[in-house]
Structure 1
Amino acid sequence: MTDRSRSPYRPSRRPKGGGAQGGKGKKNPAAPPTPRDPARRTAYDVLRAVEERDAYANLLLPALLRERNITGRDAALATELTYGTLRRQGTYDAILDACIDRSLTSVDTEVLPVLRLGAHQQLSTNIPPHAAVNSTVDIARRVVGHHRARFVNAVLRKVGARDLEAWLAVVAPDRDTDPTGHLAVVHSHPRWMVSALAAALGDDPEGRLDETEPLLAAHNERPRVTLVAKPGRASVADLVEGGATAARYSPFAAYLPEGDPALLREVRQRRAAVQDEASQLVALALTRVSVAGADTRWLDMCAGPGGKAGLLAGLAGQRDARLLAAEVQPARAGLVAQAVHRSVRDAGRVVVADSTRPAWRDGAFDRVLVDVPCTGMGALRRRPESRWRRTPETAGELAPLQRDLLARALDAARPGGVVAYVTCSPHLPETRGVVEDVLAGRSDAAVLRAADFLDDIPDVATGDYVQFWPHRHGTDAMFLALLRKS
């Protein structure tokens, strides 16, 4: 997507080209040079790429770590500096704005990431203040030159004059008179997004937003790694033997407390994978709805990158059913093929297809999953920069596509079949708004009470729908609606 928003302190975009390579010497003759102070330099390069060209940190950071042969403590530090800075970007921008004589919007996009990186080290880590400033200024000399490095040094010394709590007392609006603005600065979210999340939670917009605040705080915490044992190919016991612990809700999930999931044998063999627990549960709910008559043809309409398809293919194979997984992008369809590979009875088949122009006949499927493209507001823990990519005006741009996909899903289901509408967002126009709009124009479907098929999980029901929350369930904020074709 090219649409985006920034914090209230958005800088002007003046790209200066790609980052220069720093440092000399190689750990591996075939690898690019490892920069001096590799953790901070790599964090800076990711932050700059996010700022200037909307790069995705979760894709770019691992690639840079591999290219530069950065491992161990340096890799851990680079990860903390990158994600920590992105999560608290709005807060740091408010503080930096108070430390600069001119507006922060006038700061070049190559300088702003180094300022944020320095602010994060000073205000939110255990790095000694002098080391945080000196190391950041050293990075600044290498990437923006000596003149602007002096500017960075002066600003960061002003930042270091107060701790984070003292700064928030200065820059955050008063909570009693402006609760939304207060939480936006304290927890680093765009103001409009705080209001949208409060509406989804049912908080009083004129009140203290008492449940909204723990949700915003949860978005700034590092999420745990959750694994899925693919049915028929691995078990939770296998994952526990590898060091994981059984999950609370999904019978196929386990939590990995630390370490690289790729080190687990089951993950390397693609018998298990990384998958959020709520993503597993919304797929499982679809399989728990009873259907009269045949139950042999299942469809996943937006299958990439394949997490839910891998789980459904295993469950389908155990029931002598078959899953057709459709994905419009060929590269993502390849990931889906890997996810369903060697499922029970090879129950998964993958096709490259646009589900808004189906390659299948209407009424052909007993169960249909449509996990629609969305704003991603339910995964802000994992993709912290995504909170700055949209504005209130662009947040609803996907609604026509979402409505079209749900309508095509209902067309694909046979009478008596069931459809699961899923999105990784709690934003009301993307969730119940889409379902209600589609059903208002047709009389051949009825909403089921989705929580009845997840009856062992507390606090997920919102009317007939299910909404998971990071602060309640420790998962992404997945939404689920179940509909019966009549």
Structure 2
Amino acid sequence: MSQRGRHRSSPARLAAFEALFQVATKDAYANLALNQVLSKHRMDAQQSAVCTELVNGTARLLGTYDRVLETAGGRPLSSLQPAVVTVLRLTTHELLSMRTPTHAAVDAGVELARDAVGQRVTGVVNAIARKVAAHDLDEWVTLLSEAAPDPVDALATATHHPRWITEVYADLLGDEARTALEANNVAPVPTLVVRPGLVERDQVDAPDATPTTFSPFGLHRAGNPSDLREVRRGQVGVQDEGSQLMAWLASLAPTSRDAAGLPWLDLCAGPGGKAALLTGLARQRDTWLLAGERAPHRADLVRKALSAYQDGWAVVAADGTRPAWQPGSFGRVMADVPCTGLGSLRRRPESRWRRTTDDLDELVALQRQLIDAAWRSVAPGGVLAYVTCSPHPAETIDQVRAFLDRTPGAELLDAPALLPDVPGAGHPGDARMVQLWPHRHRTDAMFGALLRKPS
């Protein structure tokens, strides 16, 4: 990339280019790359907002923009160097999804190409950008949809998702699928969670916050969470309402009397959001939480998340498939297993284009190992909460059904009955399991099932 001469591009565009180039070439997560460049570059509030929109918006519609660019340019993007592709993606977002005038967006793209790559690529950027500008986003979607081989592909194009994800939504939701997919394209307002025993929701000094609809622990609040004193003190964290509901669900599940006084386990605890909420709830029941996390650096994140509690917890860096504790030690176990993350597409906009069915196969095998290990950790009469941030059947209902088939005596509890104020929470394939949806509940598409061990 060019480092010579004085940059004429705005700081927001240069920073957005830097973040998305990391996503394209280093497999970085867009939200982490964005936070990095916002911390690195000194920008005012307006420039920071523009940078955020450029990064998140471009990442969210990445696949659609790539199809537009290949159609407009008449060549595969693989024929262009990654830096040029990144410039074109950002320029396309300005042209099709922001209010930047056409001539200004094209000129900005050319200047960004000159600053970030070099003078020699400005011609190709200018030519392709002008062809992109020949249609607005709706017109491009119509053109691409008309070329789709079938209705599922057309729906994927119209809602800016890969086909394989669109198929999952269509199979689960039928006519409701379009609304659900479109909800993934709306960035959520940040959601906070109070830590039980440290602060009450009405004590948080945030008059501009609104209570979450279903979780008794949550608040919606726009802006930077670290502006709040309670967040800086660790009394309040950042956590989607759906994740809050899964931790709460695990705490509500009925156990036997013998299991009730035993400690709780969070099997895959990193980075610590659910573990912090579970710790507060466990302390209210006169017990404590063990948080396990395989990666040492993520175990450190869990410790940081729990550090506001003086007691009631312990963290161990351990592989959940090979537990570092005795079998049958815990009255409640949460296995929030690694998954495709298809339930958090609102907050992680690039993940829909990053994940593939190959990833799914590897994750399903790991999930099977983890649910079996978690079950061995449950005491007689105790409960296992199996949780994923995904609506994909292979990671959710199929995983639970397969577990029940190979595990005599395991009882599937009616989880939605424990959340009576959450409408439409039953899974479409089995109403005893919970499946949340962004378009219904304004949460991530979290899945939860409760399994009780015989006394």
TM-score of Structure 1 vs Structure 2, range by shorter chain = over 0.9
Instruction: State the alpha-carbon separation in 1 of the partners of residues 228 and 337 from structure 2.
Output: 31
Instruction: State the alpha-carbon separation in 1 of the partners of residues 146 and 442 from structure 2.
Output: 29
Mapping of 1:114-193 within 5 angstroms? 114-173=87-146, 178-193=150-165
Aligned to 2:452: 484
Aligned to 1:429: 394
Aligned to 1:15: none
Distance 1:140 1:174, change over 3 A: closer
Contact kept? 1:88, 1:187, Cα under 8 Å: no
Distance 1:240 1:172, change over 3 A: farther
Instruction: State the alpha-carbon separation in 2 of the partners of residues 22 and 37 from structure 1.
Output: 16
Shift of 1:272: 0.2
Instruction: State the alpha-carbon separation in 1 of the partners of residues 226 and 232 from structure 2.
Output: 6
Distance 1:20 1:70, change over 3 A: farther
Shift of 1:196: 1.9
Instruction: State the alpha-carbon separation in 2 of the partners of residues 70 and 400 from structure 1.
Output: 45
Aligned to 2:283: 317
Instruction: State the alpha-carbon separation in 2 of the partners of residues 86 and 371 from structure 1.
Output: 26
2:298 corresponds to 1:326 = no
Instruction: State the alpha-carbon separation in 2 of the partners of residues 466 and 138 from structure 1.
Output: 50
Moved over 6 A (4+): none
2:405 corresponds to 1:473 = no
Contact kept? 1:242, 1:264, Cα under 8 Å: no
Aligned to 1:206: none
Instruction: State the alpha-carbon separation in 2 of the partners of residues 20 and 244 from structure 1.
Output: 44
2:248 corresponds to 1:284 = yes
Shift of 1:36: 4.7
Distance 1:97 1:264, change over 3 A: same
2:414 corresponds to 1:442 = no
1:352-402 alpha-carbon deviations (Å, 9 max, x no partner): 111111111111110000100001111111111111122223322111110
Aligned to 2:170: 198
Q: Which moved more, 1:375-384 or 1:104-113?
A: 104-113
The runs of 5 or more residues in structure 1 that have no matched partner are 1-18, 25-33, 204-209
Instruction: State the alpha-carbon separation in 1 of the partners of residues 320 and 76 from structure 2.
Output: 47
Shift of 1:83: 0.6
Q: Secondary structure at the match of 2:343?
A: coil
Higher normalized helix content (fraction of residues): 2
Instruction: State the alpha-carbon separation in 2 of the partners of residues 430 and 310 from structure 1.
Output: 25
Shift of 1:339: 1.4
Say which of 268, 292, 308 aligns to 2:274. Answer: 308
Q: Secondary structure at the match of 1:396?
A: helix
The runs of 5 or more residues in structure 2 that have no matched partner are none
Q: Under a length normalisation based on structure 1, what TM-score does the superposition of the two structures give?
A: 0.89
Mapping of 1:237-386 within 5 angstroms? 237-239=202-204, 241-256=206-221, 258-294=222-258, 295-296=260-261, 297-343=263-309, 346-386=311-351
1:284-338 alpha-carbon deviations (Å, 9 max, x no partner): 0111122222423111100000000000101111111111111111111111111
Letter in 1 for 2:301: L
Letter in 2 for 1:475: T
Q: Under a length normalisation based on structure 2, what TM-score does the superposition of the two structures give?
A: 0.95
1:84-134 alpha-carbon deviations (Å, 9 max, x no partner): 011111221222122113333322222111111111101111111111111
Letter in 1 for 2:237: A
Instruction: State the alpha-carbon separation in 2 of the partners of residues 416 and 375 from structure 1.
Output: 31
1:437-472 alpha-carbon deviations (Å, 9 max, x no partner): 222112031111110111110011012110011111
Shift of 1:71: 3.6
* Identity %, equivalent residues: 46
Shift of 1:202: 3.8
Q: CA RMSD in A?
A: 1.7
Q: Secondary structure at the match of 2:99?
A: coil
Say which of 189, 192, 195 aligns to 1:224. Answer: 189
